[in-house]
């Protein structure tokens, strides 16, 4: 396997783990049983990457090609669900922020890098990164009967992925090594999201009608 594909596969593995953890925490917050926990973790971990593969016409889907990812989510559910049920005090929205931010950064970078490698236009590649990074969380929130966080939380989320995707393309154009380009872009996306949450930074809201 070429080195680039190995790097992308390693990032996908880490992204799957991060988003699976965020799904587990959200499902535990909703007091779901083990089947519900697995379903939410599975959809969160694989939703964005599956849509990416559909749009890029990549077959088999990444989690079908690497079946270990599915086993990872399955075993993680069996181990973590009882533990989270026992330690309910740590199952908070705040606890989900770090794995969610990491998943956003990791999956966004896989989307933009794969699209760019396949010769997609620059803006299409960037949007592919945003879609890959964001949709897992959107599906998680929908399954948990919530308005997706990306649509009502005015702290930057998709915007972080957008900026980080452009950074990756810029570093690639400057012939920076793939490992450094991927790592710095992931760090920027996750870091921006966490910084936005910690500082309360938000994008301008639609003004309310006072009439």
95-125 residue pLDDT tens: 778 888 999 999 999 999 999 999 999 999 9
Cα dist. 35→27, 40, 118, 176 in Å?
A: 10, 9, 37, 44
Residues in the chain: 211
pLDDT digits (tens, 9 = 90+) for 144-195: 888 777 777 778 888 999 999 999 999 999 999 988 999 999 999 999 999 9
The continuous run of DSSP H or E covering 192 comes out as helix 178-199
- Peptide bond before 60: cis, by omega within 30 degrees of 0? yes
C-alpha 92: how far from chain center: 19
The answer to whether residue 211 scores a pLDDT higher than 70 is no
Provide the H-helix boundaries in 56-177.
62-65, 68-86, 97-117, 122-143, 149-152, 158-173
Residue 120 gets which letter from DSSP? -
* Residue 137 contacts residue 21 (beta carbons within 8 Å): no
Tell which residue, 13, 27, 127, has the closest CA to residue 84. 27
Query: How many Å apart are CA 12 and CA 132, to the nearest integer?
Result: 11
pTM comes to: 0.87
Query: What pLDDT, on the 0 to 100 scale, is given for residue 209?
Result: 58
Burial letters for 122-151: b for 16+ Cβ neighbours within 10 Å, e otherwise? Answer: eebbbbbbbbbbbbbbbbbbebbeeebbbe
Tokens of 203: 């994008």
Instruction: Give the sign of the dihedral formed by CA 52, CA 55, CA 59, CA 61.
Output: positive
Mean pLDDT of 49-57: 93
**Mean residue pLDDT across the chain:** 87
Query: What pLDDT, on the 0 to 100 scale, is given for residue 193?
Result: 93
Residue 153 gets which letter from DSSP? -
Tell which residue, 96, 102, 78, 76, has the closest CA to residue 30. 96
């Amino acid at each position: 396997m070429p080195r680039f594909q190995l790097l992308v596969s390693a990032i996908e593995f880490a992204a799957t783990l991060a988003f699976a953890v965020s799904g587990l925490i959200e499902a535990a917050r909703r007091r779901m049983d083990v089947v519900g926990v697995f379903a939410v973790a599975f959809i969160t971990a694989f939703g964005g990457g599956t849509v990416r593969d559909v749009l890029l016409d990549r077959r088999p889907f990444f989690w079908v090609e690497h079946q270990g990812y599915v086993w990872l989510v399955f075993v993680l559910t069996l181990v973590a669900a009882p533990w989270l049920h026992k330690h309910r005090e740590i199952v908070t929205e705040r606890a989900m922020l770090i794995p969610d931010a990491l998943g956003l950064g990791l999956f966004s970078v896989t989307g933009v890098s794969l699209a760019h490698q396949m010769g997609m236009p620059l803006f299409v590649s960037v949007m592919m990164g945003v879609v890959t990074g964001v949709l897992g969380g959107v599906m998680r929130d929908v399954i948990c009967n919530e308005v997706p966080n990306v649509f009502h939380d005015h702290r930057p989320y998709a915007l972080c992925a957008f900026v980080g995707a452009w950074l990756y393309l810029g570093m690639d154009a400057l012939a920076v090594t793939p490992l450094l380009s991927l790592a710095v872009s992931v760090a920027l996306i996750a870091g921006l999201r966490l910084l936005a949450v910690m500082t309360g930074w938000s994008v301008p809201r639609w003004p309310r009608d006072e009439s």
